[in-house]
Every structure is written in C-alpha cells, then in structure tokens.
Amino acid sequence: MPGRDGLKAGKEIIEVGRRMWVKGWVASNDGNISVRLKDGGFLATATGVSKGFLTPAMLVRLNRDGRPAPGRNRHRPSSEIRMHMEVYRRRPDIGAVVHGHPPVATAFAVAGIPLDQNILPEAILTLGAVEVAPYGTPSTDEIPEAIAPLIERSNVVLLANHGALAFGPDLLTAYHRMETLEHTATITHLAMGLGRVKTIPKAQVKKLMELSEKLGIQGRVTLKSSKFKVQGSKDKKG
C-alpha cells in the first residue's frame, strides 16, 4: 500500500493545487486533493480555500477512518472527503486522489457522454474507457455510492453534472491522469466539431494493451470493447 511522508505530501498538494488553479480546473474554492500517508492516515485540502493559494496550514490531517486528527488542524476537511475515502477503501493500490471541474471533461459529464472511445493511444494506456457516474448531491453519501462500482475498473471517473475524479499510486500520477482526461476531452470535442471521430482499430488497441503489460503501467484500465472486463491491471499489492 503506498504511503507518503507528511512533509513531502504537503509540498506536493500545494504544487498540484496551484497547477489545477492555473489550468482553470477549479473556480473559487472548488476541488480537493488528498494523499495517503505512511502511518495509514491522510493529508487533505481544507474546505473553503482556493487550491491556487494553499499554505501548509490549509491542509488537514485525517486518521485512518478519514476523520480529522484531534488537535492537529486549524481548518475543517473538504466536505467531499467521503468521495476520496471511498476510493482509498476500495483501492489499496491508490495513494492520492484529485478532484476538480476541468471545463471540457466536465462538459462531457454534463452532457452525459462517456469518454469511452478508443481514439488516442495515451488515453487508452492510462485511462481506458471513462464512464459517467450518476449525479449525486455533493458532500452527501450519494457521490461515494454512485462512483463505487466505477472505481473498481478505472483510474478516472466523470461525475454527472459536476466534474471529474482521478486517482493513482502517487499524487503526480493522479494529477497527470486528470491532465490526460482534460486533454482527451478537448481533442474529442474538437473532432466532434469536425464531424468525424475515427476510432483506433481493435487489432491496434490489442497491441497497445500488450505494450501496457510490457511497460508495467500501473492502475486499472478497462476498455469499452472488452465489455468492462478489467485489463492491464498492474496494481502493487500490499
């Protein structure tokens, strides 16, 4: 099970928050970031703060069960931390979770269109088919319940009428998955505007999946053509 040193995790969260804000993935105080720590607890962004201007005091220490560690925090954790905890609970291979509202990917989530076509090699290797989880009220148990089955077979989830969630063994990988998601959504949208979206032939997709095995790409990637059978899974257990 991955776990980060607290100080390093704090620095990484502040940097990833800044990048998300610069890229326009989070307006106002939107979005949240968390990292699994060595001791089994978590470090997460506080509620009501801009991800572009985080300071160490705006990070919250959580116990193994996701509750704030008593006496160690100035702020309350994000109201959406339950969504993060659902990912950690179901995926021991996951060390970090990123949530934001990247505009193009979120537009697909609003339109209810999954990003599940095999159109770009990088997206096939790192994301696979990205599904849209049913809408849930933020900060309630509705979102953790809606994403639960999707977490098992992917590293990225679109949240209907809301945004996107990406996770990985470490924070940079989770962030990069979100970047690939928004990039793929943008290209898909442009190709749709051109009136034609050609998919990569099945035989070529198979070659990519073999490459994924060879390269030892981590995470869970499931392709639409495989009827959501998990493929290319290289999770680190333990």
Nearer to Zn ion by C-beta: 77 or 163? 163
Amino acid sitting at position 89 = R
Q: Is 102 in the site for Zn ion (CB under 5 A)?
A: no
Residue 59 φ/ψ, nearest 5 degrees: -105, 145
Give min distance, CB of 159 to Zn ion, in A. 7
List the x/- string, 149-168, binding to Zn ion by CB under 5 A.
--------------x-----
Give min distance, CB of 83 to Zn ion, in A. 9
Total of residues contacting Zn ion (CB under 5 A): 1
Give DSSP secondary structure letters for 67-91: SBPTTS-SSPBPTTHHHHHHHHHH-
Return the closest-CA partner of residue 79 out of 144, 150, 16: 144
- Per the CB < 8 A criterion, the answer to whether 155 and 177 are in contact is yes
Q: Is 136 in the site for Zn ion (CB under 5 A)?
A: no
Q: Token pair for residue 222?
A: 């499931």
Give min distance, CB of 225 to Zn ion, in A. 31
Q: Is 128 in the site for Zn ion (CB under 5 A)?
A: no
- Per the CB < 8 A criterion, the answer to whether 100 and 192 are in contact is no
Output the residue with the shortest Cβ distance to Zn ion: 163
How far apart, in whole angstroms, are the C-alpha atoms of residue 16 and residue 5? 16
List of residues contacting Zn ion (CB under 5 A): 163
